């Protein structure tokens, strides 16, 4: 399974945009890029995923580099409720669908 590299922690101010980076230099052509987040004492929660093109949903945007070796999760206006651990995960398109989690980035949001 291909690996991802994320910063251990980041800080943001409330109401400002947040850009969470992820490096995945060994990504293969069929690997989807997934982002999940985990709020304190809860199970992980799906945020967004993409393959090649940038993606937007109600929670966030995903910007994928042209060579797909990196991506960035963008929270457009951070709120205190966005404080969580954010996981960037590669998932191959095979049938198992398993996700291999790394350490993630702990996002702190300051009022």
Question: Is residue 7 within the footprint of another protein (CB under 8 A)?
Answer: no
Distance CA 111, CA 91 (A): 35
| Stretch 52-81 residues interacting with another protein (CB under 8 A) | none
Using an 8 Å Cβ cutoff, are 70 and 92 in contact? no
Burial label, 48 (beta-carbon count in 10 A; 0-12, 13-18, 19+): buried
Nearer to another protein, 42 or 66 (CB): 42
Distance CA 11, CA 96 (A): 35
Handedness of CA 108, 99, 51, 5 (dihedral sign): positive
Question: Is residue 43 within the footprint of another protein (CB under 8 A)?
Answer: yes
Question: Is residue 29 within the footprint of another protein (CB under 8 A)?
Answer: no
Question: Is residue 42 within the footprint of another protein (CB under 8 A)?
Answer: yes
User: What radius of gyration, in Å, describes the C-alpha atoms of the chain?
Assistant: 13
Shortest reach from residue 25's CB to another protein, in Å: 19
Please pick, from the candidates 28, 46, 65, 77, the single residue that binds another protein as defined by CB under 8 A: 46
| Stretch 84-103 residues interacting with another protein (CB under 8 A) | 87, 93, 95-103
Positions in the binding site for another protein (CB under 8 A): 32, 34, 36, 41-46, 48-49, 87, 93, 95-104
């Amino acid at each position: 399974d291909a690996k991802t590299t994320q910063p251990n922690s980041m800080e943001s101010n409330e109401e400002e945009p947040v850009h969470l980076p992820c490096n995945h230099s060994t990504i293969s052509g069929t690997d989807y890029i997934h982002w999940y987040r985990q709020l304190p004492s809860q199970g992980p929660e799906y945020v967004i995923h993409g393959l090649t093109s940038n993606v937007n949903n109600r929670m966030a945007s995903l910007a994928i580099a042209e060579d797909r070796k990196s991506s960035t999760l963008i929270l457009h206006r951070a709120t205190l409720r966005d404080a969580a651990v954010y996981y960037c995960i590669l998932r191959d398109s095979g049938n198992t669908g398993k996700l291999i989690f790394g350490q993630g980035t702990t996002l702190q949001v300051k009022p």
